[in-house]
Amino acid sequence: MPDMRLRALLDQNVPRVIVRWLRGVRPMWEVNHVTDVGLEGKSDQEIFDWAQQHSALVITFDEDFADRRMFPVGEHWGVVRLRVWPTTVEDTQAGLRRLLDSVADAQLVGSLVIVDNNRIRVRRKSPPL
């Protein structure tokens, strides 16, 4: 059972069919695709800005979103960077399923999460010393 209600924005490189699938496995989440909110063809920064304005986690295959200099961990609502290969619907679902089964919803907020074929890495902002 999910820990909390999250919003998620799927980037243009994530197949639209994943929206329906993710809504089915996380019915408490509000899930949108960039094409649903008028962001098709927009820049990473515009997509990121929309996600921040709407308190949404970004789910993407785009490696730029994992650049902690551009998008510092702990200073956004969260980024899930998919590194599954091949990038089929089935492999994307499998990667996201592993994520959802092993990482609590609350841990996604503010984190950079890298999901590849073999492991999941969660990077959170380090507390000050």
Q: Quote the domain boundaries for residue 63.
A: 7-123
Question: Which helix (H) or strand (E) covers residue 115, if one does?
Answer: strand 112-116
For residue 11, the 8-state DSSP code is -
Query: In the predicted model, what is the mean pLDDT of residues 72-76?
Result: 89
pLDDT, tens digit, for every residue of 11-64? 999 999 999 999 999 999 999 999 999 999 999 999 999 999 999 999 999 999
Residue 42 lies in a domain: yes
Number of domains in the chain: 1
Residue 1 lies in a domain: no
Residue 129 lies in a domain: no
Residue 2 lies in a domain: no
Residue 25 lies in a domain: yes
Reported confidence tier of residue 2, pLDDT bands at 50, 70, 90: very low
pLDDT at residue 68 in the model: 87
pLDDT at residue 127 in the model: 56
Residue 48 lies in a domain: yes
Whether this prediction's pTM lies above 0.85 is answered by yes
Residue 116 lies in a domain: yes
Share of the chain above pLDDT 70, in %: 94
Residue 128 lies in a domain: no
